Structure 1
Amino acid sequence: MEQWKKWEQALTEAVDTDYSYGLAKRMEEPRTNPVLGYRTAGSQAEFETGELLYREMKQLGLKEVHKDKIRVDSWDFHHAVLRFRDHQGKEHEFQLGAYQTDFHTEGFKEFSMVYLGRGTACQYENVDVKGKLVLIDINQREEWWINFPVYQAHLKGAAALIAVQDNGYGEIHETALNAQDIAGPMEAAAFSISQADAAVLKADMARRAGENQGEYGETRVLFDASSTVLKDQESYNIVGTIPGREKDSLILLSAHYDSYFSGFQDDNAAVAMMLGIARAILKTGYQPNKTLVFCALAAEEWGVVDSKYDWSAGAYEQVFTARPEWQGKVFADLNFELPAHAHGKRDGVRCTYEYASFMEDFVKRIRNIPAAYPEGIEVLYPIQTWSDDFSMAIAGIPSMVNEFSAGEFMETHYHSQFDNEEFYQEEVFRFHHEFYGKLVLAIDRSAAVPLDFGRLFGAVADSVDRKMCRKTGAQEEGLLQGLEKAGELAKTLYKAVQTINQRYEELLEQRNGTCAGMSGCVSADEEGLSAAGGGCRKLEAACRELNRRLLGLFRKEQDYFVRLNWHDEVLFPQEAVGSNLQAIYKALECLRQGDAEGGLNAVYEIDNNRYAFLFDKEVFSYFTEYVLNQPADRLKWGAGRIVHHENLFELVASLKEKHQKAGGQTADLERERRALLKVAENQEQCYREDIQYMENSVGKLTALMEDCLKTIPDIKW
């Protein structure tokens, strides 16, 4: 290991965070909105930033630098400015943020504005909003997403909706604007306003309230906005490499270059760190065994019109349409997000189940952890849907990302104009350069993809609820026995992989010991001058079929076991149904007792039926059907991952009506109980089928692991 310690030390010394910081700042220059920034999917600003990164990769000395063309829906937000004169005659002008919708005023246009609280269906009763601007409060983190109140306003005839964050996001300051993906149709226009500016408008509308207008009246404003959405446009992912001896074995590093506002942390610093790592590796003269691929991804924040899964479009298109040949070749994707700020007292790497064992071993070796992380480093799994690594994983590319979602930054600065260099932490940025640079070297020392499938099988076993199985009649014993067998086989397989990689490290160390200098090893191997080098090549060749099968097995696991709920949480197939049944059983007991309120509270937790409480049926149905009945090419990474949905809109409406009439007393809810019993029967059948499906899937995966074991090379030499 002495030679590898030298490489790691050389990499540490080669890291230059001043370079990376400067690149992150240069990325801010192209912008769609001259005042606020924004570098959005398919826009000219995104294109110019891509050109900047293309030139940067070439200047660094990366090879095969090119632009991979992808198709995305584009958004160009140029401006949104609101002016109005208050009751005292004072003129106000507010800069507004925007969501990915299509809206143009062609200069300042007069509108009437109304304030409708949370923007739910009941707040439109006896209110005419046709052609008007509707101002609402929203907490997207804890209540509902922006698409629901926006579409509600659109169906009522509003010209546009303007949302102000009521906690949830942008909490750092009352002047913070916020931006998120819209997850809805482009024609339902939406903008954002700060709490401070909204307070001025609300105060004016409160003064204008009359007897028939309630607490708030209407005010007249001038609004000038230009927000353009175009379907099926061209964009580019920018790719460069450091070629390795193994052309078909790849290590991928990725980060996205689109952004909201200036996007210093999210994700300028991440792209800059990715290239900073490339620069450091090149500076050391290290010659990788595998080809290192550096990919700047477009359209992560948004890139698909009218889809629940409208983010991570660039990554999805990269691995499914632009470069599907990467599948089966990439040992790991190291994805980066918001890496120049500590998101808690403990740093974290979030990875797929299968990489957890390798990462835990790697983390144990890390020293000189900065003071920003007094609690050290943890390995978290599985991955989440928040970033591009999820799209990579479901394509069969084992992925990981620096943990960024748990800290308060996501609630305070994230997706606001306060995501800027004022919250830059150089020691954190430097540490992440060094940590992930060393991780690249560690993965590069693996002849066999270091995947431990036992973690997944253990997690599946833990997810099986025996009580639920008994209640539903699901036969879990076959599944659990299959998982036990699969787990033991996975241990054998991973131990064999570790043995191979240990031998590979020994050969690499011997090879490097025969080289005169750090950068002379590859040429010596190519000329056959190093016996150890020949051994490396022999072992690499012997592992090619094994790696193909290991990565194929990983891909099958994603297909068989990765599902989502309506909150975009990653879970196993039966878990969503199990959660539904828990709520259904609770609701049935409440309905048996005539407790409408208790029944409603329980039904609220079933699938996406909480939205049936708050919005019109047309809104609820729209955002249900566009998940269940839309082409896969519009659903991208979410296609087919929500299953067994129960639409309980009519049940909710009936319970709400009876609860209101009962005035807190017990009610006759037998009709509703019988309807919910049918739902329970259906969900119980789904649960039984899911348990059987998982048992069958485990059997298939076990057979694939047995095939992998047959391809383990003999390394006695």
Structure 2
Amino acid sequence: SYSTHEGALTSEGNIVPAWQVRSPEEEQFKAMIDGSYAFKFARKLSSIKTYERGFRMGGTPAAKQAADMVYKEMRKLGLEDVQFHTFPVYGWEFKGASIEVEGQTFEAISLTSTPGTPPEGVTGELVFAGNGTMEDYADLDIDGKVALVAVDYDLLPWPSNVGLEARVHGTPAALIIYNLNYYGQDPSGEAFTQQDWSGTAVDFPVLNVPKNSGERLKSLATSGRVMATVKSKVNEYPDAKGYNVLGFIRGSEHPDEYIITGGHLDAYFEGFQDDALACGVALAIAKAMKETGYRPKHTIVFAIVDAEEFGAKGAWHDWLIGSWNLINDKTDWHDGLLANVNLELMGYKESEQIETRACDELLSFLKSFASTYKPDPEAFPNPEIAIHHGVSTWTDEWSYSYFGMPTICTKTDDRVSEEFYHSQFDTWERADPAKAQELAEFYGTIIMRIDNSLIHPYDLTIRPARFMEEVDRGAAAITGTDISNVIEAARRYEMAAAEVMQALVEAEEVYVTLNNAMAKAGTVEKASPLGGRSQAPITKAGTGTRVDGKSDETSALAQLKEAADKVNKKLRALNRYLYAETQFLGSTYPEEVVFQTTHYQHDPVVFEKLSQMVKSGDVSGAASLISDWDNGVYGNYYAPYHSYDVWTQFILKYFNNPDPKTEFFSRGRQLRFHDVWRLTHELMKKAAFAEQGGTVSVTPSDISKITRLSFDALKNYRAALDHDRGVWVKAMTLLPTVEELKELKDASQAARKLVTSVSN
């Protein structure tokens, strides 16, 4: 379900006092933030529609109109070098749909990437196909008919699964679906739901109706033979362009190092919270920074991207196309990717507290920042910031993380996801201007705190600690696998990283302390009107001036910054390496971001248990285990409900044999899954026979199949351990060197000695 991909609520992370310190610039910024501006802009953006209910999909005129509006607004705000970044996208434009049955007309929507109908529509007998599983079609003829499916997302997780399963069993004139759970569960029962298609496209119209309409159609279909006419107007633009919009506030000290923030301009329906309000909040942050004259040390990129919802027909991961293309194309940015603050699905009026999420490296920073942040109780009555840990492949943060950029992201209120996400109810009425104000302050000051840090505020110890925690000692014992080498490599890296962290945190604390002392003494580092940083005149006696005309404090700061710059460059390179080698798509469901070992250690244990069950004649237990969500073979949970061709396309085609043409943010990150569909169904048949009193015999062939699978799984597991051991060994060599740390420590000590003299 969606919640597993949005990060686990956590108490992990360390408090670093230096990351808790607020600057006067932050207070000026917060005083200038205008939440009403964000809200008004979002209302204007969400009013751009393809038809009366909304839709502004990448590659369509509506999305281009939205991009033009953002471009003009960025220019108006005074952002620098405002530009379009264009990329190829599959444009899909929906203009309205209906279903006519027995004189009744039901409004509908077409599902992304599916075709429309001729103007006169398509007509066929309306037949109810249950939940749309393989079993539901066993005795059903759907050729030339209009099939109706009540989708249970616990059985078929994507609309593509529903469509492809129907295609296996016939050639329907059209397919109509309505949701029973997870999405579009607004209490009214009137929510349309537009979910990502995700996978191989079909050649017939597929439409969605609200649950209430679906139940009425089901009643008509099951009461006797009735005819349905389906009409849908869809325009497709296979060779369209998407338009990301970029605006900059250039860094005064590090113009080639980037903090990227923003939202996405495309949307299903009006998309007020997903994601017009986030775009408004990003621009409100930019507006306040410009109005206060804030000159960042690093370049802040305001990226309002296109085609987040959809942009690649036939791709398993058909979303995040705009952000992925942006960073993939901007190769000159890669060495300077400092942090991404991604804004997504925010401002729900019923939310009680701020929820946010961070990756491993920024978790301690976010925890430190949040520990002293006090939200306005009028906006968020619960003052505690709920911090989640992880990276989601469901938001643009993953595109940035893919290329080695640490991320912080908004965390969606679960009620939004379940009730009106991707529905016509995502309008301004369900959002709160006071929350827009507070969230602009919250994320804007996060950006400033990161920008003003001497050392990039990364905690290097959480990733190896998480790896060691996830390594399953039980799996190693059951399979007779030695994991001591990989654990030792990770532990050595963690210990070395902890030593590095101590030096980095000490340098940050000295930097903050010296700056504060200089501010009190009247020697304040402040923004130069010509850009860069300048030193105000020393007004307190006894601080001393060097022969070169620079104060001791200026010289000490310069040396500290020079040493810090060398270390920061190493930290960014380290992240690029670790993110490429420790962030893969796998686990129970192939969207979670996992280590190779985390994924591959699971199945050998499952096959060992299956072997024991089958040998002992417990086929019912084996049939239950093999597709269990938590304990079964990874990726196999949905196998009982799919035909082999559908399951193969859903899992094996995209992960074991990916097509480069349909790979985007999964490129090079797919982990392999086992083909156990036939074994699953054989066990299910034998278990059903046994439950009816039949005698089930286990053949040598049954044992042989599991033995082969077990051998392959064990080979993958041990290869993953070797890979991950190599990662931690290599990462050790990428940490700042002894010489670089000594230079930083020496500069820190020199700066620390001046703190007392400045204070006195």
5 Å matches for 1:238-637? Answer: 238-245=245-252, 246-321=254-329, 323-341=330-348, 345-370=352-377, 372-374=380-382, 376-404=384-412, 407-506=414-513, 508-509=515-516, 521-523=528-530, 531=550, 539-565=560-586, 566-604=589-627, 605-623=632-650, 624-637=652-665
Partner of 2:190: 175
**Counterpart of 1:211?**
none
Deviations along 1:438-494, one digit per CA (max 9) or x if unpaired, are 111111111322211110010011011112112223221112222221111111212
Instruction: Tell me if 1:7 matches 2:25.
Output: yes
Answer with 551-560 or 656-665: which moved more.
Answer: 656-665
State the 1:342 CA deviation: 6.3
Task: Compute the RMSD of aligned alpha carbons.
Answer: 2.6
Superposed CA deviations along residues 6-33 of structure 1, whole A, max 9, x for unmatched, are 322222221111111110010122212x
Residues 570, 736 of structure 2: 8 Å contact kept = no
* 8 Å contact from structure 2 (residues 174, 230) kept in 1: no
Using a 3 Å threshold, how does the CA distance of structure 1 residues 562 and 342 change in structure 2: closer, same or farther?
farther
The alpha-carbon deviation at position 515 of structure 1 amounts to 8.5
Q: Distance in 1 between matches of 2:658 and 2:488?
A: 38
Q: Is the 8 A contact 1:186 1:306 kept in 2?
A: yes
Match of 1:237 in 2: 244
Residue-by-residue CA offset, 1:191-226 (whole Å, 9 max, x unaligned): 211111122212222221xxxxxxxxx421222212
* Aligned equivalent of 2:667: 639
Deviations 1:161-193 (CA, angstroms, capped at 9, x unpaired): 211000211111211100111012333442211
Amino acid in structure 2 at the alignment position of 1:157: T
Distance 2:596 2:712 in 1: 15
Shift in alpha-carbon separation, 1:4–1:454, aligned structure 2, 3 A: closer
CA contact (8 A) 1:474 1:687 kept: no
The one-letter amino acid of 1:606's match is V
The alpha carbon displacement at 1:377 in A equals: 0.9
1:140 is matched with 153
Query: Secondary structure of 1:659's match?
Result: helix
Q: Deviations over 1:76-130 (max 9, x none)?
A: 1122122222xxxx43242334222223323434333211011112222332212
Q: Residues 518 and 16 from structure 1, CA distance in 2 versus in 1: closer, same or farther, beyond 3 angstroms?
A: farther
Deviation string 1:592-625 (CA, Å, 9 cap, x unpaired) is 2323222111111312223332222221222221
Asked if 1 retains the 8 angstrom alpha-carbon contact of 2:134 and 2:642, the reply is yes
- Kindly indicate whether the alpha-carbon contact (under 8 Å) linking 1:98 and 1:192 is maintained by their aligned counterparts in 2: yes
Tell me which residue corresponds to 2:104: 91
Counterpart for residue 215 of structure 1: none
Q: How many residues align?
A: 701
Whole-angstrom CA distance in 2 between matches of 1:536 and 1:42:
49
Q: What is the SS of the residue equivalent to 1:341? A: coil
State the SS of the aligned residue for 1:196: helix
Relative distance call for 1:527 and 1:652 in structure 2 (3 A) is closer
2:190 pairs with 1:186: no
CA shift digits 1:401-446 (9 cap, x unpaired):
0111x62221111111111122112332222111111111111111
Correspondence 1:12-91 to 2 at 5 A: 12-32=30-50, 34-85=51-102, 90-91=103-104
Three-state SS of the structure 1 residue aligned to 2:345 is coil
Tell me if the contact between 1:550 and 1:708 (Cα under 8 Å) persists in the aligned partners. Answer: no
- Name 2:755's counterpart in structure 1: none
Secondary structure in structure 1 of the residue aligned to 2:344: coil
Q: Tell me if 1:161 matches 2:175.
A: yes
Please give the TM-score of this superposition, normalised by the length of structure 1.
0.92
**1:563–1:573 CA contact under 8 A, matched in 2:** yes
Q: 1-side partners of 2:573 and 2:601: how far apart?
A: 29
The partner residue of 1:702 within 732, 735, 752 is 732
After superposition, give the CA deviation of every residue in 1:289-334 in whole Å (9 maximum; x if it has no partner): 112110001111111221221111111111012x122212122100
CA distance in 1, matches of 2:208, 2:515: 56
- Shift in Å, 1:50: 0.5
Identity, in percent, stands at 23
Q: Distance in 1 between matches of 2:482 and 2:304?
A: 47
Pick which of 460-469 and 636-645 moved more.
636-645
Counterpart amino acid of residue 422 in structure 1: E
Cα deviation for residue 240 of structure 1 reads: 0.3
Instruction: Confirm or deny: 8 A CA contact 1:258 1:300 kept in the other structure.
Output: yes
Q: What secondary structure does 2:46 align onto?
A: coil
For residues 514 and 540 of structure 1, what CA distance do their matches in structure 2 show? 21
- Structure 2 distance, partners of 1:159, 1:281, is 55
Report the Cα offset of residue 540 of structure 1: 4.1
Aligned partner of 1:692 in structure 2 is 722
Q: Distance in 2 between matches of 1:159 and 1:513?
A: 76
| Pair 1:660-2:688 in alignment | yes
The Cα shift of 1:4 comes to 5.0
CA–CA distance in structure 2, aligned partners of residues 293 and 679 of structure 1: 48
Q: Aligned pair 1:650/2:668, yes or no?
A: no
Q: Could you tell me how far apart the structure 1 residues matched to 2:442 and 2:738 are?
A: 31
Q: Which residue of 2 aligns with 1:213?
A: none
In 1: Cα distance, 2:355 partner to 2:214 partner: 37
- Give the letter aligned to residue 79 of structure 1: G
Q: Which amino acid aligns with 1:593?
A: S
The amino acid that maps onto 1:568 is: E
Query: In 1, are the aligned partners of 2:655 and 2:673 still within 8 Å (CA)?
Result: no
Query: C-alpha distance in 1, partners of 2:575/2:275?
Result: 28
* Counterpart in the other structure of 1:669: 698
Aligned partner letter, 1:94: E
Deviation sequence 1:340-399 (CA, Å, 0-9, x none): 126865433211101112221111121245363526113322212111101101201111
Contact in 1 for aligned 2:523/2:535 (Cα 8 Å): no
Higher mean alpha-carbon deviation, 531-540 vs 38-47, is at: 531-540
Q: 2 CA distance for matches of 1:663 and 1:124? A: 23
Q: Is the 8 A contact 1:343 1:409 kept in 2?
A: no
Q: How does 1:111-126 map to 2 (within 5 A)?
A: 111-126=124-139
| Structure 1 Cα separation of the partners of residues 738 and 84 of structure 2 | 35
Q: Sort the Cα spacing of 1:526 and 1:681 in 2 relative to 1 into closer, same or farther, 3 A.
A: closer
Could you say what secondary structure the match of 2:735 adopts?
helix
Q: 8 Å contact 1:507–1:535 — kept in the other structure?
A: no
Structure 1 equivalent of residue 235 of structure 2: 228
Q: TM-score, normalised by structure 2?
A: 0.87
- Judge conservation of contact 1:370–1:427 (CA < 8 Å) in 2: no
User: Which range moved further: 629-638 or 525-534?
Assistant: 525-534
SS at match of 1:548: helix
Distance 1:686 1:366 in 2: 46
Residue 533 of structure 1: how far off its partner (Å): 6.2
Distance, in Å, in 2 between the alignment partners of 1:141 and 1:650 is 21
Secondary structure, in 3 states, of the residue corresponding to 1:386?
A: coil
